[in-house]
């Protein structure tokens, strides 16, 4: 009896230790799962907040654009009518003064909403983000540290004038001329620099090599109405002298004799040219010669969203846009100052001085006057605003909005394009209509 009792000594302690170990493991697992589920719920909450904050950025941007259109309608004569064309006895319908670029001057962010309508003050670290909205994309780090309403998070948005970019939509009807010539010149000037030779010297997966001239033809074939069936186009342009010099007539394409679908009838994934307008910038990837490297180099400077007859605008704060427009109107293109970096910087400073640091719009004639005052000879078309081939417009109707919403550790991004009808603020009587119309969305992408 005594021997048996001695053999069972300590058994209860062992059972307790095993039970405690099991319960500890279960408790740790339960605590871990609880933390994970709580984090998932918090991320889902922040994701929803961030998405709606980004949408708020788009909504505020559209409101600012609507205000911009009303300002343009009040400071510029109606389309087709200039202040000099009105008779002396006729009452003016609009003031002929430079319009303010509200969408570029105003920092579109949650800080603006709080400043206008009150609420919790944004964190100090969010201030730099608001100050940088007109220069680039929203910075997500200051946004996450800001506070909007009763929770941590904020939004910021930038607006880009699509008419200030190079139009890759070469869909003018054959024989129409119009802006097709300046478009081809703009595309050529965009990619003519010898440093981009690597993009056009390599073969793709199907063993096909596309030159710069080939790419212009492929862009045309993808969007034209193809009056000759499936015949490819032919580029009617000359390239005298240095690589960036191109002489293109008002209608730089004519019907050719090749097959426009030949570049796409290779490999396993075969398709045909669309023969219609591009629907999105991503659709450019389907065109022969447009690679990921090409879009990485030029994607931010291209557009396909502006109307067929839209003219380019001058963005005073965009050095690349100013240089592109300079090369479009200069004639001849072998003038030494066109390739001088100091001259380019001088031209941008002159444009900024003319527009009060980019606060005001600049018209095509004003830009041409600045260019000629600096000693550059321009083409006859550039000196004639009434010419169908005149490359500049006085206003834009399509804008791209990039909005970022941040809540906690989660960010949401929206890329939207808004189309505003020209002169939509003018009623038949010349007065602005009541209410607001923030335009029509032609692109919406959430990330």
User: What are the DSSP calls for 186-249, one per residue?
Assistant: HHHHHH-SGGGHHHHHS--TTS----HHHHHHHHHHHHS--TTSSEEEEE--B--SSTT--B--
Q: In sequence order, which residues have a C-beta less than 8 Å from that of residue 58 and are 6 or more positions away? A: 157, 401, 403, 414, 416
- C-alpha angle with apex 395: 248 to 283, nearest 5 degrees? 60
Residue-wise pLDDT for 150-176, tens only, equals 667 899 999 999 999 999 998 877 655
- Considering only CA atoms, which of 213, 430, 393 is closest in space to residue 309? 393
- Considering only CA atoms, which of 300, 56, 48 is closest in space to residue 157? 56
Q: What pLDDT does residue 67 have?
A: 87
Give the dihedral of Cα atoms 279, 285, 288, 290; nearest 10 deg: 120
What is the DSSP track for 309-356? TPPB---TT-HHHHHHHHHHHBSSTT-GGGG-HHHHHHHHHHHHHHTT
CATH 1.10.40 fits 169-303, yes or no: yes
Mean predicted confidence (pLDDT) in 52-68: 92
Q: What pLDDT does residue 447 have?
A: 86
183 is written with which tokens?
């478009």
Residue 211 vs residue 310, higher pLDDT? 211
What is the C-alpha to C-alpha distance for residues 120 and 148, in angstroms, rounded to an integer? 6
Does 349 score more than 90 pLDDT? yes
214 is written with which tokens?
């080939």
Q: What is the pTM of this model?
A: 0.79
Residue 100 CA, distance from chain mean position: 20
Residue-wise pLDDT for 259-304, tens only, equals 888 888 887 888 988 888 999 999 999 999 999 999 999 999 999 9
Residue-wise pLDDT for 378-435, tens only, equals 988 888 888 877 888 878 889 999 999 998 888 999 999 999 865 444 444 444 444 4
Burial class of 88 by CB neighbour count within 10 A (0 to 12, 13 to 18, 19+): exposed
What is the C-alpha to C-alpha distance for residues 388 and 308, in angstroms, rounded to an integer? 13
Q: Determine which helix (DSSP H) or strand (DSSP E) holds 130, and give its type and residue range.
A: helix 127-131
Query: What is the pairing mode between strands 231-235 and 154-161?
Result: unpaired
Model confidence at 7, pLDDT cuts 50, 70, 90, reads low
What is the C-alpha to C-alpha distance for residues 73 and 426, in angstroms, rounded to an integer? 7
261 is written with which tokens?
């679908």
Residue-wise pLDDT for 109-118, tens only, equals 988 888 877 6
């Amino acid at each position: 009896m005594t021997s048996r009792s001695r053999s069972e000594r300590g058994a209860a302690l062992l059972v307790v230790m095993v039970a405690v170990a099991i319960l500890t493991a279960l408790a740790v697992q339960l605590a871990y799962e609880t933390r994970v589920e709580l984090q998932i719920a918090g991320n889902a909450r922040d994701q929803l907040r961030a998405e709606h904050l980004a949408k708020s950025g788009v909504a505020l941007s559209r409101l600012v654009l609507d205000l911009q259109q009303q300002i343009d309608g009040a400071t510029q004569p109606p389309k087709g009518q200039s202040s000099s064309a009105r008779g002396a006895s006729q009452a003016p319908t609009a003031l002929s003064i430079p319009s303010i670029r509200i969408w570029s001057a105003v920092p579109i962010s949650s800080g603006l909403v709080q400043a206008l309508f009150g609420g919790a003050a944004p964190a100090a670290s969010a201030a730099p983000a608001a100050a940088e909205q007109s220069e680039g994309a929203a910075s997500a780090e200051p946004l996450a540290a800001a506070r909007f309403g009763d929770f941590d998070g904020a939004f910021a948005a930038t607006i880009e004038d699509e008419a200030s970019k190079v139009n890759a939509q070469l869909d003018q009807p054959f024989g129409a001329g119009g802006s097709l010539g300046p478009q081809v010149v703009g595309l050529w000037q965009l990619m003519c620099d010898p440093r981009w030779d690597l993009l056009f010297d390599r073969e793709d997966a199907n063993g096909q090599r596309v030159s710069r001239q080939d790419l212009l033809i492929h862009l045309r074939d993808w969007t034209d109405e193809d009056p000759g069936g499936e015949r490819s186009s032919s580029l009617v342009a000359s390239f005298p002298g240095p690589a960036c010099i191109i002489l293109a007539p008002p209608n730089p394409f004519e019907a050719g004799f090749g097959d426009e679908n030949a570049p796409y009838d290779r490999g396993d994934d075969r398709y045909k040219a669309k023969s219609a307008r591009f629907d999105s910038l991503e659709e450019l990837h389907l065109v022969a010669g447009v690679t990921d490297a090409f879009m990485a180099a030029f994607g931010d400077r291209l557009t396909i969203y502006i109307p067929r007859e839209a003219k380019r605008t001058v963005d005073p704060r965009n050095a690349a846009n100013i240089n592109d427009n300079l090369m479009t109107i200069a004639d001849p293109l072998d003038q030494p100052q066109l390739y001088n970096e100091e001259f380019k910087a001088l031209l941008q400073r002159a444009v900024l001085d003319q527009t009060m640091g980019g606060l005001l719009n600049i018209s095509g004639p004003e830009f041409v006057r600045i260019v000629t005052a600096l000693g550059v000879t321009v083409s006859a078309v550039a000196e004639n605003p009434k010419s169908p081939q005149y490359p500049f417009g006085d206003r834009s109707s399509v804008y791209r909005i990039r909005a970022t919403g941040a809540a906690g550790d989660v960010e949401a991004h929206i890329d939207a394009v808004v189309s505003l009808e020209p002169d939509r603020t003018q009623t038949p009587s010349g007065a602005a209509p009541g209410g607001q119309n923030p335009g029509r969305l032609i692109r919406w992408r959430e990330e």
